[in-house]
Chains A and B, each alone.
Chain A
Amino acid sequence: MDLVFYLIALLLLFSSVMVVTQKSVFTSALYLAVALSMVAALFVLLNADFLAAVQILLYVGGILVLLAFAVMLSSVEQAKRETQVNEQWLPSLIISFGILLVLLVSLKRSLFLEAGVQKNHFYPTTEKIGHLLLGELALPFEVVSLVLLASLVGAILFSKKEKIDG
């Protein structure tokens, strides 16, 4: 089981690095697909079956295909000339280092407290998630759906062609 985890983690790290270092945008998108699928595999290892399926359905099957749709229009020739790196590497380095620090601190605080997570017992999670979303967490759930609706309406408003008078 541990071996599987390390294999997945290794693949995830490798493909994530490839996403940001590849020259061609389309190749980056393909590596992103691998990275997102590996995250789903991690969910499977944690017995979160619903999350894993939704991760694949939305991120790989939905968002990534849309991404590929946009990226496909970038030609192979363009990939040879331009790089994906810009001049802002110093601020981004500082920000990512800060995020890493926060993550490490919070990991150190919580990691070994919950050592009692059942590893080998699998319980289906779908029903529990449903009850939580429409019970205890109903308010945040509705707020999120409102935000999504607002962004949907906004997207339609922006993409609508402005009517010429008359």
Chain B
Amino acid sequence: MILPVWNESQKRSALILFGIASAGAGISIAIGEIGARFSKIWQCLSSFALKNSIPTALLTTLSMIIQCSILIGFISGAVMFMVWWERKVSAHMQNRLGPMFTGGWHGWAQTIADAIKLLLKEDIIPAEAKPWVHRLAPIVAFVPAFLCYAALPFGEGLISADLDIGILYIFAISGLSVLGIVMAGWGSGNKYSLLGGLRSAAQSVSYEIPRVLSVVPILMMVGSLKLTSIANVQTGFWRLAGIPLLPRWFIFYPIVGQIAFLIFLISSVAETNRTPFDIAEAESELVAGFHTEYSGMKFSFFFLAEYAYVFLSSGLTTVLFLGGGSGPVLPSWSWFLLKSFAVVFLFLWFRWTFPRLRVDRLMEFTWKFLLPWSFINILITGFILLF
């Protein structure tokens, strides 16, 4: 085997990356299970409240506010990182340079600078637009994305609302964002926006169906819609003659698991309006599609919603197919984050390697290929469960 010849700067970068990775692993082991720590803090606080006769309603309200703040903070931080990461990945894949100067080391502060720029930009409402529809659209697009995170299990005990209908809740609420895009398309008073909104409506309704149906085999096997119990089923190993062979993740379930995973991944990418499926904002045809007329903070809300959905889909994929937070040595939340960001990398990879689909082929692909195969998959699962 011939080892690649590394020059000095590549060696230094590799060392820095290795340092970051090992420091991250060390810190996450030192922190341990966040869920358990949070519940300890909660117990301390509630006993303190009992002693000093503080009403529990106040305490629960405060806890809700804190949970929401943590989620918002996490989403913004993750989105900042993902935007930078996306640019770096695209740079490596397409031989570009990517951000290099802002902040010094590989342009790490580029997204922060971009965010400040977006905050300071002028907010423009076109004369042709319907003002209140135009103003409300970014909010309608982003708020559902945030609501979905409430039911996403970030690891053991790290879930804001462990709903019994968890997966159904996430599918239902995430479907609301399309309305924001449709509102943006109609309310901007621009033909390009209108076309983008129309395409987006048709696309998301079509891809929502195979996306939901691809999960049905998992629900049939687990017998629950609860995300924590779906994740818990997948701990442990598939054993061959006593030797642990593969983790008990759903993706390794013969045939059914792989088909379901592929359909879910493809339709998730389609739902987030990213490149092979980004006909709603195709810049070579529609300028920028539904967000042509948006600037400054309103545009960044659409941006935030897109990346929030990318991480949400990756988190869902992790919980449904990759065993959630299960894994050795590291605490469950860091396994969840590692797996989720690995799936996020898949999203980025797709975006920078596949060309955009044509509108009619996009529709044919979901109705004539994904949908029948998800039905066949459900049928196979039924047979497996029967025999």
On A, residues with C-beta under 8 Å from B are 26-27, 30, 33, 49-50, 53-54, 56-57, 60-62, 64-66, 68-69, 72-73, 76, 124, 126
Can you identify 6 A-B contacts, CB atoms within 8 angstroms? A30-B179, A49-B165, A57-B212, A69-B198, A72-B194, A76-B189
Using known A-B contacts A53-B165, A57-B168, determine if residue A126 contacts B225 with beta carbons closer than 8 Å. Answer: yes
A27 to B131, CA, bound (A): 12
Chain B 191-208, CB-CB to A under 8 Å as 1, else 0, gives: 000100110011011001
Q: How far is the CB of B21 from chain A (nearest CB, A)?
A: 40
Cβ contact of A30, chosen from B165, B169, B183, B185, cutoff 8 A: B183
Is B169 in contact with A65, judged by CB distance below 8 angstroms? no
Among B172, B189, B225, the most chain A Cβ lie within 10 Å of the Cβ of B172
Is A69 in contact with B202, judged by CB distance below 8 angstroms? yes
A105 to B250, CA, bound (A): 53
Which residues from chain B contact A49 at a C-beta distance below 8 Å?
163-165
Which residues from chain A contact B186 at a C-beta distance below 8 Å?
26, 68, 72
Which residues from chain B contact A54 at a C-beta distance below 8 Å?
168, 172
Which residues from chain A contact B172 at a C-beta distance below 8 Å?
53-54, 56-57, 60-61
Q: How far is the CB of B158 from chain A (nearest CB, A)?
A: 21
Is A61 in contact with B175, judged by CB distance below 8 angstroms? yes
Using known A-B contacts A54-B168, A57-B172, determine if residue A64 contacts B194 with beta carbons closer than 8 Å. Answer: no
Interface size on B, residues (CB 8 A): 30
Cβ contact of A68, chosen from B171, B182, B208, B225, cutoff 8 A: B182
Q: How far is the CB of B292 from chain A (nearest CB, A)?
A: 15
Using known A-B contacts A50-B168, A61-B208, A124-B164, determine if residue A68 contacts B176 with beta carbons closer than 8 Å. Answer: no
Is B208 in contact with A62, judged by CB distance below 8 angstroms? yes
Residue on A nearest B198 in the bound complex, by CB: A72
Chain B 121-133, CB-CB to A under 8 Å as 1, else 0, gives: 0000000101001
Which residues from chain B contact A62 at a C-beta distance below 8 Å?
175, 205, 208
Using known A-B contacts A61-B208, A76-B189, A124-B164, determine if residue A68 contacts B179 with beta carbons closer than 8 Å. Answer: yes
Among B164, B182, B183, the most chain A Cβ lie within 10 Å of the Cβ of B182
Using known A-B contacts A57-B171, A61-B176, determine if residue A124 contacts B201 with beta carbons closer than 8 Å. Answer: no
Cβ of B173 under 8 Å from chain A: yes
Using known A-B contacts A26-B186, A62-B205, A65-B182, determine if residue A124 contacts B176 with beta carbons closer than 8 Å. Answer: no
Q: How far is the CB of A120 from chain B (nearest CB, A)?
A: 14
Q: Which of B68-105 contact A (CB under 8 A)?
A: none
Q: How far is the CB of A110 from chain B (nearest CB, A)?
A: 27
Which residues from chain B contact A60 at a C-beta distance below 8 Å?
172, 175-176, 179
A53 to B165, CA, bound (A): 8
Using known A-B contacts A57-B172, A72-B182, determine if residue A65 contacts B225 with beta carbons closer than 8 Å. Answer: no
Cβ of B178 under 8 Å from chain A: yes
A60 to B144, CA, bound (A): 12
Is B178 in contact with A65, judged by CB distance below 8 angstroms? yes
Cβ contact of B201, chosen from A30, A66, A76, cutoff 8 A: A66
9 new A-B contacts at CB < 8 Å, known A56-B176, A61-B178: A50-B165, A53-B168, A54-B168, A57-B175, A62-B175, A65-B204, A72-B186, A76-B130, A126-B165
Q: How far is the CB of B89 from chain A (nearest CB, A)?
A: 31
Which residues from chain A contact B165 at a C-beta distance below 8 Å?
49-50, 53, 124, 126
A61 to B198, CA, bound (A): 15
Which residues from chain A contact B133 at a C-beta distance below 8 Å?
26-27, 30
Which residues from chain B contact A27 at a C-beta distance below 8 Å?
133
Q: Which of B128-163 contact A (CB under 8 A)?
A: 128, 130, 133, 163
Using known A-B contacts A30-B183, A57-B168, determine if residue A72 contacts B197 with beta carbons closer than 8 Å. Answer: yes
A68 to B198, CA, bound (A): 9
A27 to B186, CA, bound (A): 10
